Amino acid sequence: MSLPRASLGFFPTPVHPLARLERRLAAQGPRPSLFIKRDDQSGVAIGGNKVRKLEFLIGEALARGCDTVVTAGAQQSNHCRQTAAAAAMSGLECHLVLGGEKPSRVTGNLLLDQLFGAQIHWAGEHRKGEDLPRLVETLEEQGRTPCLVPYGGSSAVGASGFVAAMDELKAQIRAGEIPAPTHILVASSSGGTHAGMVVGAALNDLDTTIHGIAIDKEEHGGGTYADWLVGLTNETAALHDLRKHHARIDVSLDERFLGGGYGVVGDLEREAIALLARTEGILVDPVYTGRVFGALLAMIRAGEFSEDDRVLFWHTGGTPAVFAYAEELAMRPASDT
Ligand SMILES: *Cc1c(COP(=O)(O)O)cnc(C)c1O
């Protein structure tokens, strides 16, 4: 399947073992081998997973002759920050519809949105793009040619970035950079990342269980998130002619780690962030990757993997949110523990 694609990120992103963490966990009982895929190092605007989707979404916007992109998200949306940067790189105007009201303190992703020159519209309760159609209309009336980038970049076109990511992973396995993982853990929130990986794994005959760790309790696309995710996976599979390959599609969504809901930091996230930072010098974020890494630790402690398993933690970025959650993350200095 050949889709228009803009070259934005630095790929392939690195893969490597988490050896110090493994040794630390081994003291507590049997544990699998652990590896990490560094999409937090994907290059654009402090990195993250949305760059992979934006290569296809911006590619399509340019092919369609758009001069403006519009998208939506939460106030600390990584997707909006990366879209703003991708638009700047591509000579497109960028409008962001963000949930909530204008805060008194501008930090984290919101600060970066402004630095990248995005125009920000505050949407109150509507953090999932409910106001986008009206904004598109207004921009058209003003003589612009806007392209809508869906919430989270999660359409079949956006998910194609993660179909390509699985080609990239397959090549890294072939080259011996890491062994083939038996399990992959990744955040699943607007669905494009998870859906694309499931389709890409099938196309590449990767025999691995992809555990999507759910991040957001709320309904999505007018129904449950699980229904939305399966629908998006099927659309992505159709776009890539997967049926021709007779592949089995298996969508595994784990909703056990939702805690207080989207963006609510609990002990799971706090402990995970501190452990990875202190053993490996790697930052995970309070909303997505901290929750997924916390889920991984909980699953290891519960004996859900065997010692023969090779588990790949897919780091999807989110680093700037660390600064916006400074108060929730403030913890005892290491010398107190
Ligand atoms: C958006 C995002 C995710 C989730 O990806 P989806 O494709 O929306 O499910 C995971 N991690 C980070 C840091 C993100 O910004």
Q: How far is CA 85 from CA 38, 43, 91, in A?
A: 19, 11, 10
Phi, psi of 254 (to 5 degrees): -110, 110
Residue of 79, 197, 316 to mutate, ligand 1, most atoms within 8 A of C-beta: 316
Q: How confident is residue 332, by pLDDT bands cut at 50, 70 and 90?
A: low
Average pLDDT, stretch 44-69? 98
Inform me whether the pLDDT recorded for 52 exceeds 70: yes
Residue 113: predicted pLDDT = 98
Task: Tell me which amino acid residue 126 is.
Answer: H
Nearest to 54 by CA among 74, 71, 75: 71
Element at 310 (helix H, strand E):
strand 310-315
Q: How confident is residue 243, by pLDDT bands cut at 50, 70 and 90?
A: confident
Residues 53/192, Cβ–Cβ less than 8 Å? yes
> Is the distance from the beta carbon of residue 32 to the nearest atom of ligand 1 less than 6 Å?
no
- Upstream peptide bond of 103 is cis (omega within 30 degrees of 0): no
* 252-254/209-214 β-pairing: parallel
Q: How far is CA 35 from CA 50, 167, 241, 293, 296, in A?
A: 21, 18, 30, 12, 12
The distance from CA 22 to its chain's CA centroid, rounded to whole angstroms, is 24
Inform me whether the pLDDT recorded for 238 exceeds 80: yes
Residue of 52, 57, 76, 78 to mutate, ligand 1, most atoms within 8 A of C-beta: 78
> Is the distance from the beta carbon of residue 49 to the nearest atom of ligand 1 less than 6 Å?
yes
Residue 30: predicted pLDDT = 84
Residues assigned a catalytic role = 77
Residues 317/285, Cβ–Cβ less than 8 Å? yes
Residues 6+ apart with CB under 8 A from 20: 279, 280
Inform me whether the pLDDT recorded for 193 exceeds 90: yes
Q: For the whole model, what pTM was predicted?
A: 0.96
Average pLDDT, stretch 171-177? 98
Q: What is the DSSP string of 124-136?
A: BT--SSTTHHHHH
% of the chain at pLDDT higher than 70: 96
State pLDDT tens for residues 102-126: 999 999 999 999 999 999 999 988 8
CA 78–ligand 1 middle distance (angstroms): 8
Residue 1: predicted pLDDT = 65
Residue 245: predicted pLDDT = 65
Residue 337: predicted pLDDT = 47
Q: Give CA–CA dist 119/96, Å, rounded.
A: 6
Average pLDDT, stretch 162-191? 98
248: phi > 0 → left, psi -120 to 50 → alpha, else beta; which? beta
Inform me whether the pLDDT recorded for 334 exceeds 80: no
Average pLDDT, stretch 312-319? 98
Residues 6+ apart with CB under 8 A from 222: none
Residues 313/296, Cβ–Cβ less than 8 Å? yes
Q: Which atom of ligand 1 is nearest to the CA of 317?
A: 13
Residue 333: predicted pLDDT = 57
Q: How confident is residue 87, by pLDDT bands cut at 50, 70 and 90?
A: very high
Q: Among 57-66, 140-149, 245-254, 256-265, which stretch is predicted with the lowest mean pLDDT?
A: 245-254
Q: Give CA–CA dist 237/160, Å, rounded.
A: 9
Q: Which residues pair with 186 in a beta bridge?
A: 212
Residue 318: predicted pLDDT = 97
> Is the distance from the beta carbon of residue 316 to the nearest atom of ligand 1 less than 6 Å?
yes
CA 212–ligand 1 middle distance (angstroms): 11
Residues 72/98, Cβ–Cβ less than 8 Å? yes
> Is the distance from the beta carbon of residue 319 to the nearest atom of ligand 1 less than 6 Å?
no
State pLDDT tens for residues 220-237: 888 999 999 999 999 999
CA 104–ligand 1 middle distance (angstroms): 26
Inform me whether the pLDDT recorded for 244 exceeds 80: no
> Is the distance from the beta carbon of residue 155 to the nearest atom of ligand 1 less than 6 Å?
no
What token pair was written down for 202?
């099938």
Dihedral over Cα of 36, 37, 41, 46: its sign: negative
> Is the distance from the beta carbon of residue 189 to the nearest atom of ligand 1 less than 6 Å?
yes
CA 193–ligand 1 middle distance (angstroms): 7
Residue listed under structure tokens 């993982």: 181
Dihedral over Cα of 4, 232, 194, 203: its sign: negative
Average pLDDT, stretch 162-187? 98
> Is the distance from the beta carbon of residue 154 to the nearest atom of ligand 1 less than 6 Å?
yes
> Is the distance from the beta carbon of residue 150 to the nearest atom of ligand 1 less than 6 Å?
no
Residue 165: CB atoms within 10 Å: 25
Q: How confident is residue 28, by pLDDT bands cut at 50, 70 and 90?
A: confident
Q: Which atom of ligand 1 is nearest to the CA of 318?
A: 13
